[in-house]
A and B are shown apart, each in its own frame.
Chain A
Amino acid sequence: DAKTTQPNSMESNEEEPVHLPCNHSTISGTDYIHWYRQLPSQGPEYVIHGLTSNVNNRMASLAIAEDRKSSTLILHRATLRDAAVYYCIVYSGGGADGLTFGKGTHLIIQP
């Protein structure tokens, strides 16, 4: 699976949008981009995934660059409950092997 690069930490204010970047310059044409988040003392939680087009769900939006070498997870209106570590993972989609989690971005939300 392609390697990803994320900032170690980011800080945002409550009720403001948050844009979490991820670089994956070695992504291949069939790799998917997955995002997970891990709240303190909990297991990771699936957030969203996409291939080429931007994706929206009830939790977040995923904006994928046209060359697919980067993507951005967008939280439209952050709450204190969104404080977590966010992982960006590039995954080929096939096979049974597990996902490889990097260090992720520690998102801090200020009230």
Chain B
Amino acid sequence: SQTIHQWPATLVQPVGSPLSLECTVEGTSNPNLYWYRQAAGRGLQLLFYSVGIGQISSEVPQNLSASRPQDRQFILSSKKLLLSDSGFYLCAWRTTAYNSPLHFGNGTRLTVT
């Protein structure tokens, strides 16, 4: 069966520090991968998605970037965190089949201080 791993679960970082969040998927090949963010009390905002290694589509201009160095690995990064980067970051995947559902990880709660 397919599983998605996301780490760390929680993270507290000072303003101006770098960020690296990692997500891996097991049990499937060539998944579509997604990063979402949910600010406190807000809805889910799609940040990036990827259809293959090295292919990244950005939905919203951000202080963030994403990379996909391997087929089932998706990384969210920042060179210098802002206070507004605080939130709940969620990685998700789905197959390339038509109308396939999204499967989310357990998320990383990031607090920028």
Which residues of A approach B to under 8 Å, CB–CB?
32, 34, 36, 41-46, 49, 91, 93-94, 96-104
Contact = CB atoms under 8 A, between A and B. Distances in A.
- 6 closest residue pairs by CB, A with B: A43-B104, A93-B99, A46-B101, A101-B44, A98-B46, A96-B51
A46 B102 contact: yes
Given A96-B51, A97-B57, A103-B43, A44 B102 contact: yes
Interface in B75-113: 90, 92, 96, 98-99, 101-107, 109
A62 to B, nearest CB: 13
A36 B90 CA distance: 14
A42 B106 contact: yes
Interface residues of B, number: 23
7 contacts: A43-B90, A43-B107, A44-B102, A96-B32, A97-B49, A97-B57, A98-B36
Nearest to A42: B106
A49 B49 contact: no
Given A96-B51, A96-B96, A98-B92, A44 B44 contact: yes
Given A42-B107, A43-B90, A43-B92, A98 B102 contact: yes
Interface string B47-83: 0010100000101000000000000000000000000
Nearest to A99: B102
> Which residue of A32, A43, A45 has the most chain B CB atoms within 10 A of its CB atom?
A43
Contacts of B106: 42-43
A49 B104 contact: no
A45 B107 CA distance: 12
B100 to A, nearest CB: 9
